[in-house]
Chain A
């Protein structure tokens, strides 16, 4: 077995050349002579040549600054946003900054020096902005102290600008590069204060992403691009029925095919190992396997009735305020509606994959993971090696959306590599990805309100029957009978309602479920914002004015609604067959309002013309990236609302690829405009998820405005909107 002695980057370059490829800058930290490579094609952490000022940053002799990013880059722009926060305080030139991943191994060795490395819940900026400002400020103060020592002047007389320390009285200056070594040796008597927002010069600027250049040349390495000498490939044979296991398989039937090396049982199924992925994949399809029966009696068609029935039974109280039952009973008017959403797949563009090389004394894993520190522990468990012997090389993620927070592919690749004693790249097909996903839960949400004389809700009961993610993912059954993700978006509603009850009936089915971009908000905002629209309509009130009355206590919402109304032409007449719909959602410390404008043809074809977004995340690190995340989330939310549905018949997932699980494409993509309504203060809200939840209700409310048809079950592809007069 080979031991990897060369630094990984050079090692990979060798591997590529040996394979006959054009190794142009691949696999190496190829820094072009003139331009700094702002983000390396291979983002994982390597020993850096410069001087470390703590675990987060390295200053090179040429003044370039390497900033380590502890969160995963999956499209949300974190490789740019987090370095901006450090650089804001450091005082280097932004053009001198480059980014790479912080190492999960080091995080373990050095007692959580990077903190929790998981990326999810739109938490990266929210949880790290102060810490990273302090990292930059501390390094800057040490550079200043080093210069003060060299010149024998008080530090207070020095200034920092553009990667250099200046002494204005004498006009002397010294650059960060030559200062770094002495700065690294300095311990500050006390850490410096950090800037207040009024002092920012970098934070808040619409800077371009550092990783764009390597993503337009094909150089950026995703997990699926890992290549090692002697590497084999694995494709999966997964059970056709949920929960089934392989009872027997006939490896001999495929071992005579070209390149096929072995069939190995792995968690969740069987791995066919070959010298080429294509050969492995073709063989996996014809491998004779006898599977156990699994959940062959499971049909999603029966679930709707079951979830509705659950709402009639006992529901655990997640929140209770006032006396909703009697307030509804005595209210002058009542309104009730049921909203239903199906299972959804994550379908990140890059299918799940993992390359593992398990050796006697170490295991290396190349993967795109949202949880590198947990991946390290999972790899240790799967390989039987101690965590200190595991090396996780996190790659760029070709989309995550929650799916890459649980790396089912990792123990599979480890098992495969262990079995054949070679590095193995295991790749899921798209069919594997859709059918063996852990889905966004199915849900039924019933709203029941008692209305006052002006039609405003006096009392509101919100009941949700929804799959338990805790039970499915962690085997944990919440004793309270509800879990946060089941009721988020309900219990935390901003609308002023004197009497409120949120009830929950957690469900468990053979379909595995997990976190999906915006999690519980994705279905609960659909129910809340549709129902608000229904209440407004019942009161013959304007949907925006109606919301304002329920949000009078929230100046941030009122301001956002003003921005949204103006930008979205709210109230301006539209031709027949067109309509505007409004929805709000607050999640991850960020409020997003959306106005969707749709055209519905007499035949019932829906065209989303434009979506106006107003967002309040308090502060924004980078408004350009913020806008792209709003666009991304709107497309993600609309895709689900229009087409997204996983159905299961006799335990088999009916969808398998993009032909049966369709995606929004260019021709159907609306114009999307983002408008800032920032309230500042102490809020640094998340931006990756919060624009997903309003998309579906804004769209459905717009369809109601255009057609008078109320959509209470998604996806829209199942609704019939044709045949209108």
Chain B
């Protein structure tokens, strides 16, 4: 049995240890906010947080996740908060970032991770940390929303 802790809940699952985390989240736990885009670590649509740092869930096996707590987009809002109430999500709504929206879970989690280690990121830090693909070209608004989220987090 595999034990997986996602969004504060622990699950016991009869799954292959080599199954990538992405498919356990989507197909076994029904957490479909985490997306499949490439399966080879290129696009970032599958991003989740592991110990607060962004991680491409298509590349990491359940065995390698081990006991590390995972946060998906569904679990991002602070405890007791409404869905979408994380400062990064609020900034995303203020800047109306999503177009098709498919990449946005991954983009948001990449931004959360960036702001965890660089609370007031420079443009260069944003460029370096935000490598996820957005086929709709929302990059300019993502940049603005990250700067806004940083301001929101400062209060």
Instruction: Give the interface of A toward B (CB within 8 A).
Output: 16, 19-26, 32, 73-77, 208-209, 211-222, 224-225, 227, 233, 258, 276-278, 281, 347-351, 396-401, 427, 429-430, 624, 628, 631-636, 657-659, 663-667, 669, 671-672
Contact = CB atoms under 8 A, between A and B. Distances in A.
Contacts of A666: 126-127, 130-132, 139, 142-143
Contacts of B96: 208-209, 212, 624, 628
B40 A215 contact: no
Interface in B67-108: 72-77, 82-84, 89, 92-93, 96-105, 108
Interface in B15-32: 16, 19-20, 23, 26-32
A533 B82 CA distance: 54
B101 to A, nearest CB: 3
A215 B73 CA distance: 10
Contacts of B143: 666
B139 A665 contact: yes
Listed residue (A20, A278, A634) with the most chain B CB atoms within 10 angstroms of its CB = A278
B39 interface: yes
Given A211-B101, A349-B133, A669-B140, A21 B30 contact: yes
B82 A212 contact: no
B55 interface: no
A327 B105 CA distance: 59
B118 to A, nearest CB: 15
A16 B72 CA distance: 16
Interface in B32-75: 32-40, 42-43, 45, 72-75
B33 A218 contact: yes
Contacts of A19: 28-30
Given A635-B137, A669-B140, A216 B27 contact: no
Contacts of B40: 430, 657-659
A393 to B, nearest CB: 15
Nearest to B90: A216
Given A217-B89, A430-B39, A212 B30 contact: no
B2 interface: no
B28 A216 contact: no
Given A75-B136, A217-B84, A635-B139, 7 more contacts: A20-B11, A215-B104, A222-B35, A349-B133, A430-B37, A628-B96, A632-B137
A633 B135 CA distance: 10
A77 B97 CA distance: 11
B98 A22 contact: no
Given A278-B27, A349-B100, A657-B40, A634 B131 contact: no
Contact of B30 (A23, A217, A399): A23
Given A208-B96, A347-B135, A430 B32 contact: no
B33 A276 contact: no
13 contacts: A20-B11, A75-B98, A213-B84, A216-B93, A217-B89, A227-B30, A276-B28, A278-B20, A351-B36, A396-B101, A632-B137, A635-B139, A665-B130
Contacts of B30: 16, 19-23, 26, 227
A277 B23 contact: yes
B32 A215 contact: no
Given A24-B74, A213-B84, A218-B32, A665 B102 contact: no
A61 to B, nearest CB: 25
B134 interface: yes
B100 A429 contact: no
Interface residues of B, number: 65
A382 B64 CA distance: 43
Contact of A258 (B16, B89, B127, B134): B16
A398 to B, nearest CB: 3
A221 B101 CA distance: 10
B9 interface: yes
B99 A75 contact: yes
Nearest to A275: B27
A582 B116 CA distance: 41
A658 B133 contact: yes
A636 to B, nearest CB: 6
B98 A399 contact: no
B92 A219 contact: no
Contacts of A227: 30, 32
A350 B33 contact: no
A399 to B, nearest CB: 5
Contacts of A216: 84, 89, 92-93, 97-98, 104, 108
Given A74-B100, A216-B84, A219-B83, A669 B32 contact: no
B138 interface: yes
B100 A217 contact: no
B139 to A, nearest CB: 4
B82 A32 contact: yes
A397 B97 CA distance: 16
B30 to A, nearest CB: 3
A281 B26 CA distance: 15
A402 to B, nearest CB: 13
The 10 A-B residue pairs with the shortest CB-CB distance, nearest first, are A218-B33, A21-B30, A635-B137, A398-B102, A215-B101, A75-B100, A75-B99, A218-B73, A667-B127, A215-B98
